[in-house]
Chains A and B, each alone.
Chain A
């Protein structure tokens, strides 16, 4: 009976500092300080973009920044009814309404929200809407709570000078969970390491070389490996190594640590792992190693704690 396939659960989380540049920088600065919406006008074709762009999208010329009204016409909208699980980008509990608004003075639609509390049934494309500003503004898009219907809203466009970009970065984070499937072969490999502390390899049906990790395809020959697996000892030779000193946010190991590519005895491919039980400056290419097994094994690379020098 085939083994039930296993999955490695993981996550990639990374912090970012996005540059706002001349256009978005001014736009957000004006949001925060003047409750004003800024667009960018192409001197050549005259089109006004909101949010503003650094350059004209069609003719590539640099832009002049112009204020537009915070009132305009609802072009279209959608009601978000469900919240996908683990979605770090969603705006909280649904329902909420995402709207496209053509502001007075703009030639493109501005995408924002309809203010909470406005019944979606009261919305109609073509109706007049106006931005509802928050009292406390941080210089981000949500300084506007949302748009609300405002039949009488006048198109007031303040012509005071536009501020220089004071908001130069937007900080954020992307965090995505993953479930990496081992597939049939790697499931079998890790069941063997977990249950029997045993290293298993596959053999290429063409070149007869032994592959660990035991993949199903020998990449060099583009040939499948044989059904019969090869059992290998947990001893190996170190091919090449490094000691990592450089720290960075989100690093999986805390430096300094030593790791390398090693070749299990009887294998014809290299395998990465940590090197321990030895001073860093004593680690040498070609040295003999033995696996140090973890007491608790979950069926992943850390079923082996690290490799230490083999005392022969």
Chain B
């Protein structure tokens, strides 16, 4: 496998309803910005990987065809990726594979969704099994509410813990020009007074639905060094799926994430991820998931994430900042969300995260989550060659 690095990142401002551009228009904007950031033109790109979530969100099938030109894919090899919520990360990983395999030197990955075009929870509910479960589905919130309740019952986490997580993410989002939901006066009390959408999840425990896109340019070693003074090197990637209804499944223990984490830490030579990682960008659409994923990524022991939250270890100034970007809790396009985690981790490593930059980031991890709570992806990025 060849070395590969991220040399450019492009994001659109995310919002509830972007009436200025179509879905392809959003894709085009992110692509243009990523190329600008890298100092490249579309002519330098050898192949394009495109990703978006279920077509029911926009009501137009085959979006890679619809966005083929917007993504810069005219007369280039194009591949479409779709793995639910993880699609953004899977698309980045696929672009990395394109480069690492030796097939292509410069690969553009772009993901987007324009959730305002349709009814998000209805689109998400079509993901459920029509025979067993769609009858009760309330999109993502109800499934994650059950997962959250499961976790609380098992380990004793409370609504206060979730509110602390909401506050941290929402305060971070204020510093990110691309984030969607910004609540500068957020407080634990405000979160706990917000109404339940699917108990125990309250409105302020939940992500918004956003229109937005994200693009990244991956390059092989020699070109990356020429393109970019400080590229973000890909140290390890992993994408693991567990089943949906397998025997003895425990929704509070993400086995797929456990396996993905073991693989990337092994490949990146990380023995103690909590100490050796400088920043985490995690895909939590709902607060409680931050604790479940922290444990799933071995940042702490099972059932102890709430202790780290109580200490503020996850804050910008904490021992291991989680989601300085404001995370998925503040911006959720679904299609681009997991790629935004990779892009934000890359920006942190490159020192280009702006107001939400964490000092001295050498190595960061980006996580993606999706499907029926069963897909997980991880990517470790660092400022040194792997």
Contact = CB atoms under 8 A, between A and B. Distances in A.
Interface of A: 8, 10, 12, 14-24, 53-55, 57-60, 168-169, 172, 174, 178, 180, 182, 186, 204, 207, 209, 211, 213, 215, 218-220, 239-246, 248-253, 255, 257, 259-261, 268-274, 280, 285-286, 300-302
A220 B246 contact: yes
B303 interface: no
7 contacts: A21-B21, A169-B19, A180-B130, A213-B245, A244-B141, A245-B197, A251-B121
B137 interface: yes
A10 B59 CA distance: 18
Contact of B121 (A60, A239, A248, A300): A248
Nearest to A286: B153
Given A243-B198, A244-B138, A257-B136, 19 more contacts: A14-B56, A16-B58, A17-B116, A17-B117, A19-B18, A19-B19, A55-B69, A57-B74, A59-B42, A174-B59, A207-B247, A213-B245, A220-B246, A242-B142, A242-B198, A242-B199, A243-B199, A244-B141, A301-B131
Contacts of B25: 21-22, 54-55
Contacts of A272: 132-133, 136
B38 interface: no
B84 interface: no
B245 to A, nearest CB: 6
B3 interface: no
Contacts of B248: 209, 220, 268-269
Given A218-B246, A246-B141, A58 B69 contact: yes
A242 B149 contact: yes
A267 to B, nearest CB: 9
Interface in B25-39: 25, 28, 31-32
B198 A24 contact: no
B351 interface: no
Interface of B: 18-25, 28, 31-32, 42, 56, 58-60, 69-70, 72, 74-75, 114, 116-123, 125-126, 130-139, 141-142, 145-147, 149-150, 153, 195-201, 243-249, 251
Nearest to B126: A12
A205 to B, nearest CB: 13
B247 A220 contact: yes
A245 B195 contact: yes
Contacts of A55: 25, 28, 69-70
B130 A10 contact: yes
A246 B69 contact: no
Contact of A54 (B21, B121, B141, B249): B21
Contacts of B59: 14, 16, 18, 172, 174
B24 A54 contact: yes
Contacts of B138: 244, 246, 248, 251, 255
B28 A20 contact: no
Given A252-B136, A257-B136, A301-B131, A240 B149 contact: yes
Q: Which 6 A-B pairs have the closest CB atoms?
A: A242-B145, A240-B150, A285-B153, A57-B69, A219-B243, A21-B22
Nearest to B137: A252
A15 B119 contact: yes
A258 to B, nearest CB: 9
A196 B60 CA distance: 44
A269 B131 CA distance: 16
Contacts of A60: 28, 31-32, 42, 72
A63 to B, nearest CB: 11
Given A54-B24, A218-B247, A252-B125, A14 B31 contact: no
A259 B142 contact: yes
A209 B249 CA distance: 12
Nearest to A250: B122
Nearest to A169: B19
B135 A302 contact: yes
Contacts of B60: 18
**A60, A243, A273 pick with most chain B CB within 10 angstroms:** A60
Contacts of A213: 131-132, 245
Contacts of B147: 240
A213 B244 CA distance: 12
Given A59-B42, A241-B149, A14 B74 contact: no
B122 A248 contact: yes
Given A12-B56, A55-B28, A251-B122, A259 B199 contact: no
A105 B211 CA distance: 34
B19 A168 contact: yes
Given A16-B118, A22-B20, A301 B132 contact: yes
Nearest to A213: B132
Contacts of B153: 240, 285-286
B22 A24 contact: yes
A243 B353 CA distance: 39
A273 B56 CA distance: 25
Nearest to B70: A55
B246 A240 contact: no
A270 B248 CA distance: 8
Contacts of A207: 247
A305 B349 CA distance: 54
Contacts of A18: 22, 58-60, 117
Given A54-B21, A59-B42, A272-B133, A219 B246 contact: yes
B21 A19 contact: yes
Contacts of B18: 19
A270 B134 CA distance: 15
B58 to A, nearest CB: 7
Given A12-B56, A16-B58, A285-B149, A248 B21 contact: no
Nearest to A248: B121
A243 B28 CA distance: 41
Contacts of A178: 130
B199 to A, nearest CB: 4
A271 B19 CA distance: 42
B131 A182 contact: yes
